Structure 1
Amino acid sequence: MTEYIASSMQTAREAVESGAEKLTISDEMLDLWNDVDDQAEEAGATHIMSAILACADAPGGLSGEVLYGVLCFCYEALRERFEEPGVGLEAEQRSGKCVEAISFQKSKIMDFLGAE
């Protein structure tokens, strides 16, 4: 599974560096998704894999809606990985990891919006 995620992330990095408007993952990688997901034992792995798949399964490119979904998957991966307790806004506001993740995501969005 680690190889699958590493390979997917490398493909994503190359797409970003080349200025591609969408992420294209090989049919072989897409076909392996369910098998790899079934073997995923590490907390948060399924959410990270879903974020990668969401980027690849965006026929219209990486729209705001798609990126919102990707950010949500990444956030949920963090919550699961660090076993953040509680549900809801108040619990997340008490969590340093959740606050840090939201702050990071906001800064990246603001960087992008400022770059236009």
Structure 2
Amino acid sequence: MRDYIGVSMRAAHECVRSGAEELALSDETLDSWNDVDDQADEPGATHFMSAILGCADVPEGLSGEVLYGVLGFCYEAVRERFEEQFGVGLGAELSSPQCSEAIEFQKSRIAHFLAE
């Protein structure tokens, strides 16, 4: 799983640097998603991997709707990773510093890009 995420993140960084509108992953990487997911036992890993796939599998481009889904997957990864520590439910999420930090980070990124 670490290799899958590493390859994907390097491709994502290159995509951002080059100004590309879509994350291009090799067919090999895309085809390995299910195998990697079957081995992913780290809490939140599947959601994070789904966010990566969500950026790569966008025939119509990274629309607001697609980005909403990607941000949702990222938040769910954080929530799942820390739910043992804070419990499950809205009250637990509100008391989780990690969940609050994820929301604030996403809001700041959205505000930054809307201001451009």
TM superposition shift of 1:109: 0.4
Alignment partners' CA distance in 2, 1:86 and 1:3: 30
**Deviation beyond 4 Å, 4+ runs, structure 1:** none
Alignment partners' CA distance in 1, 2:43 and 2:105: 21
Aligned partner of 2:88 among 80, 86, 89: 86
Alignment partners' CA distance in 2, 1:11 and 1:73: 19
Alignment partner, residue 49 of structure 2? 49
Which consecutive residues of structure 1, in runs of 5 or more, have no partner in the other structure? Answer: none
Cα deviation code 1:31-54 (max 9, x no counterpart): 100000000011111111000000
Alignment partners' CA distance in 1, 2:33 and 2:69: 18
Asked if 1:106 is matched to 2:107, the reply is yes
TM-score (norm 2): 0.93
Count residues in correspondence. 114
Alignment partners' CA distance in 1, 2:87 and 2:22: 35
Alignment partners' CA distance in 2, 1:81 and 1:66: 23
Percent same amino acid at aligned positions?
66
Which consecutive residues of structure 2, in runs of 5 or more, have no partner in the other structure? Answer: none
Cα deviation code 1:53-77 (max 9, x no counterpart): 0001111111100100000000000
RMSD: 1.0
Q: Give the aligned residue type for 2:111.
A: M
Alignment partners' CA distance in 2, 1:99 and 1:29: 32
TM superposition shift of 1:94: 2.1
Alignment partners' CA distance in 1, 2:31 and 2:63: 24
TM superposition shift of 1:92: 2.1
